[in-house]
Amino acid sequence: MADFKKEIERRRTFAIISHPDAGKTTLTEKFLLYGGAINLAGSVKGKKTAKHAVSDWMEIEKERGISVTSSVMQFNYKDYCINILDTPGHQDFSEDTYRTLMAADSAVMVIDASKGVEAQTIKLFKVCVLRHIPIFTFINKLDREAQDPFDLMEDIESVLGIHTCPINWPIGSGKEFKGVYDRQTHHIHAFTENNNGMKAASDRDLTMDSPELEQELGSELYERLVDDIELLDGASDELDMDLVSKGQLSPVFFGSALNNFGIELFLNYFLEMTSSPLPRMSDSGLIDTFSPDFSAFVFKIQANMNKAHRDRIAFMRICSGKFDADKEVYHVQGKKKLRLSQPQQLMAQERKVISEAYAGDIIGVFDPGIFSIGDTVCTPGKKFAFEGIPTFAPEHFAKVRQVDTMKRKQFIKGISQIAQEGAIQIFQEYNTGMEEIIVGVVGVLQFDVLKHRLLNEYGVEIRLETMPHEYIRWIANKEDFDTNKIIGTSDMKRIKDLKGNPLLLFVHEWAVQSVLDKNKGLELSEFGRW
């Protein structure tokens, strides 16, 4: 029993979020390096190829050489067992990226020091805020010319609306980058451009009182540091862990992932400041992580690992207890007892079949088509359902036209199944029935995925007619409003999802506000529910 508790206590499950190219992959790689999970930095870059081999589930992925789905990595560091959830960016940005954040207990936000807060970071950040999870900031690429650190703080605070508390502070940047000052210990970690990050950097240790410091930094940087520290101590937010845990205050760190500088410092503080897996809300109240009864929820479904069988893998986040592959579990939504088949975990880059896992872990299980996003599995006889997962506003919409209308049945089946996996969302206009389907996606690549999969897996050819609409809103108080009576704008479309929930679709963002102004009491939301 003591071991069981310890296993859960030592777990940390977090997602890394960033705009493409800020350094997420490089940072992940260095984390794995510290964990001893890989020996040579650079292997995660190869991850794109390695991942290929395991998630070789779609031609399109091969063609484009990118991974369409997000992945999970587990490794040990010191006494911790760490689960990192990757949130893919670039063209493979999709609703999956958002949904991954539902399985994390905290998020690490990587920001490029020369660029500040960028578009995709803002989107992902909003999802973290929705969940009130702690958000840690790593400001990367200090070895390049960077924006003034005070401006970066200001940028985060004003654009994201979160308070910041620098835990360390950079001394210079670019060619002048000398290291970081640790505000907690008052030590200076000096930067020496070393070994391309091939092995863990041994930071030299100086304090503000070290007599050689001024000479080491040069008088200009030294004086600026003294001034900065004074200003920070006087003006910056205090480290209030209660606010951190609610996601209202972000501890901020500086460094350079590529040079492996500031990573260990970050990792140590981060692990200390974050908690073990958190309890999760269900229809029976909060579910205690340390309860002996196993429970988990499905947050991602990845299709067709094996094309011949139309297999799927359902990814689950374990929320309480211990998973034992030999024991039966209860699938709440399917109302059935079953044994989870071929449970697996991705350890660093290797997928392996496991026999046990603990709260905080993510497991992938073989899914014969029974699971939906948000489903709960729990211990037989102790049933409850976890709170649903939100659906996120797609930003691209298209009308779907079937080329061969004779294949109606396959088409409906195919598109419904793909929607059930959460890769796309489907809608209908009022009074049109299934003849006219509107598909909404978060990233445009999903349009190609849909076309490709319908053709290859269901033998159905479709044409997509893109629509100018980009803003979708769920009607939060649909009970109080007759959708047909909502006073709209000329660009507004009334649509419904498959469950019949009413939604509004707009071309322009300003129209959303305009409709709110015209319809007093109307509440619109950017998130729906599965």
Residues that bind ligand GDP (CB under 6 A): 18, 20-26, 89, 140-141, 143-144, 256-259
Q: Of 9 and 143, which CB lies nearer to ligand GDP in the complex structure?
A: 143
Cα(265)–Cα(205) distance, integer angstroms = 12
Place of tokens 């034992």: 324
Q: Of 21 and 214, which CB lies nearer to ligand GDP in the complex structure?
A: 21
Q: Report the nearest approach of ligand GDP to the CB of residue 261 (Å).
A: 8
CA distances from 279 to 84, 276, 290, 291, 327 (A): 19, 10, 9, 10, 23
Q: Of 191 and 397, which CB lies nearer to ligand GDP in the complex structure?
A: 191
Burial of 477 (0-12, 13-18, 19+ CB in 10 A): exposed
- What does the longest C-alpha to C-alpha distance in the chain come to? 84
Q: Of 82 and 263, which CB lies nearer to ligand GDP in the complex structure?
A: 263
Q: Of 44 and 298, which CB lies nearer to ligand GDP in the complex structure?
A: 44
Q: Report the nearest approach of ligand GDP to the CB of residue 385 (Å).
A: 35
Q: Of 25 and 304, which CB lies nearer to ligand GDP in the complex structure?
A: 25
Place of tokens 């991705």: 346
Q: Of 28 and 289, which CB lies nearer to ligand GDP in the complex structure?
A: 28
Query: In this structure, what token pair is assigned to residue 326?
Result: 């030999």
Task: Report phi then psi at 211, rounded to 5.
Answer: -65, -30
Q: What DSSP letter does each residue of 154-223 carry, written as one string? A: HHIIIII--EEEESEEEE--GGG--EEEETTT-EEEE----STTSS----EEEETT-TTHHHHH-HHHHH
Q: Report the nearest approach of ligand GDP to the CB of residue 195 (Å).
A: 14
Cα(252)–Cα(108) distance, integer angstroms = 10
Q: Which residues are within 8 A (CB) of 490 and not within 5 positions of it... i.e. 6 or more apart?
A: none
Contact 339, 329 (CB under 8 A): yes
What is the rounded radius of gyration, in angstroms, for the C-alpha atoms of the chain?
A: 24
Q: Of 198 and 434, which CB lies nearer to ligand GDP in the complex structure?
A: 198
Q: Of 200 and 412, which CB lies nearer to ligand GDP in the complex structure?
A: 200
Contact 179, 254 (CB under 8 A): no
Q: Report the nearest approach of ligand GDP to the CB of residue 96 (Å).
A: 16
Report the b/e string of 368-400 with b at 16+ CB within 10 A. Answer: eeebbbbbbbbbeebbebbebbbbbbbbbbbeb
Q: Report the nearest approach of ligand GDP to the CB of residue 70 (Å).
A: 12
Place of tokens 């988990």: 296
Q: Report the nearest approach of ligand GDP to the CB of residue 346 (Å).
A: 17
Q: Report the nearest approach of ligand GDP to the CB of residue 196 (Å).
A: 10
Q: Report the nearest approach of ligand GDP to the CB of residue 25 (Å).
A: 3
Count of all residues that appear for the chain in the document:
530
Q: Report the nearest approach of ligand GDP to the CB of residue 193 (Å).
A: 10
H-run or E-run covering 317: strand 312-320
Cα(506)–Cα(510) distance, integer angstroms = 9
Dihedral of the CA atoms 277, 279, 280, 283 (nearest 10)?
A: 160
Q: Report the nearest approach of ligand GDP to the CB of residue 14 (Å).
A: 16
Q: Report the nearest approach of ligand GDP to the CB of residue 392 (Å).
A: 21
Cα(460)–Cα(77) distance, integer angstroms = 48
Q: Of 16 and 511, which CB lies nearer to ligand GDP in the complex structure?
A: 16
Contact 116, 152 (CB under 8 A): yes
Q: Of 110 and 377, which CB lies nearer to ligand GDP in the complex structure?
A: 110
